[in-house]
Amino acid sequence: MIEGRHFRRDWSSGYDIGRKAAAQNLADAAAMGAVPTAIVVGLGLPADLPVEWLEALTDGLRDECALVGASVAGGDITRCPLVVLGVTVMGDLEGRAPVLRSGARPGQVVAVSGLLGYSAAGLALLEKYGGDASGEAVEVHRRPRPPYASGPEAARLGATAMLDVSDGLVQDLGHIAAASAVGIVLDPELLRAGDAVVRAAAEVGADPLDWVLAGGEDHALAAVFPSDICLTPGWNVAGRVVEGEGVQVAGRVAPARGWDHFGPDMS
């Protein structure tokens, strides 16, 4: 995570950034069916950064790890013109095989656990109102809420493919489609935007479903399951796997691609 590219210090506190840096990586372990156990952190900081800001950052890292029983095991630090964090997460598969992106097969169902569109909605509000923006969507943008327990649960249920939604649902499911050599069709009727997303869309004149389909950084989990599996309440069916390639949204033009890693920095 690079200051100005992935976060702004005038929009997020050190504590927020610590929570976010840990969350986006802990979610990656959960998305392979693992229980996260520890992180190590590579940290670059400006020499004039207040010590209190760094203490808040480390508190955020610690508290997010505590949600899953993990810890900060170590790392390294250096001087840098901007705040830069590189996080590596370790996890325990508890004897299970990892859930990869390559196991989806035609006839199976696609399901989602967690929030979609909230972080993109929060970013839009921050871009409009600056650091004074408030509300649930802004809170989720600053501190994602990955459904950590849903990853190992999906593995136990028999998920054949899974990932976390970091770059947008359509774009990330495209990785499963490509790795599994299948097509995926999403049903927008099954992807209702949350109230906070709808309110934010009304404020900035956006389509909330576009954020659900293409907004990133919520770190929800998207997984593929055999059609005969009885899903638990934390998982909601959103589409199906078909013969073909790529991701389609039934009855709708697919939104623009999600997060572009080589696109413009945050405004």
> pLDDT at position 251, please?
76
Q: Do 223 and 155 contact (CB within 8 A), yes or no? A: no
pLDDT of residue 267: 54
Is residue 103 in a domain? no
Residue 266 located in a structural domain? no
Question: In this structure, are 142 and 210 located in the same domain?
Answer: yes
Predicted pLDDT of residue 264:
65
Helix (H, G, I), strand (E, B) or coil at 89: strand
pLDDT in tens, 136-193: 999 999 999 999 999 999 999 999 999 999 999 999 999 999 999 999 999 999 999 9
Q: Are 227 and 233 in contact (CB under 8 A)?
A: no
- Was 168 annotated as part of a binding site? no
Give the separation between CA 137 and CA 196, rounded to whole angstroms.
6
pLDDT digits (tens, 9 = 90+) for 193-245: 999 999 999 999 999 999 999 999 999 999 999 999 999 999 999 999 999 99
CATH value at residue 71:
3.30.1330.10
164 and 242 both lie in a single domain: yes
**102 among the known binding-site residues?**
no
Looking at the structure, tell me whether residues 63 and 129 fall in a common domain: no
- For CA atoms 170, 173, 179, 185, the dihedral sign is negative
Asked whether residue 267 is domain-assigned, the answer is: no
Range of the domain at 48: 14-92
5 within domain boundaries: no
Indicate whether 234 belongs to any domain: yes
Same domain for 219 and 114: yes
Tens of pLDDT, residues 7-52: 999 999 999 999 999 999 999 999 999 999 999 999 999 999 999 9
CB atoms under 10 Å from CB of 98, counted, come to 13
98 lies in some domain: no
- Was 16 annotated as part of a binding site? no
Q: Is there a binding annotation on residue 96?
A: no
- Quick check: 164 and 174 in contact, CB under 8 A? no
Residue 260 pLDDT greater than 80, yes or no? no
Return the bridge partners of 249, or none: 186
In total, the chain counts a number of residues equal to 267
Task: Give pLDDT, residue 180.
Answer: 98
235 marked as binding residue: no
Q: Say if residue 130 is in the same domain as residue 40.
A: no
Where residue 168 sits, what CATH number does that domain have? Answer: 3.90.650.10
Helix, strand, coil % over all residues of the chain, rounded to 5:
35, 25, 40
Q: Is 211 annotated as a binding residue?
A: no
How far is CA 239 from its chain centroid? 19
Same domain? 30 vs 136:
no
Record the tokens describing residue 91, joined without a space.
Answer: 């996890």
Q: Is 217 annotated as a binding residue?
A: yes
- Asked whether residue 195 is marked as a ligand-binding residue, the answer is no
9 in a known ligand binding site: no
User: Domain check: are 28 and 61 in the same one?
Assistant: yes
Number of folded domains that form the chain: 2
Condensed to tens digits (0 to 9), the pLDDT of residues 86-139 reads 999 999 999 999 999 999 999 999 999 999 999 999 999 999 999 999 999 999
139 and 236 assigned to the same domain: yes
Instruction: Tell whether 45 and 123 lie within a shared domain.
Output: no
Q: Check whether 166 is labelled as a binding-site residue.
A: yes
Q: State the average pLDDT over residues 74-84.
A: 96
Q: Examine residue 1 and state whether it is found in any structural domain, yes or no.
A: no
212, 116 contact by CB (below 8 A): yes
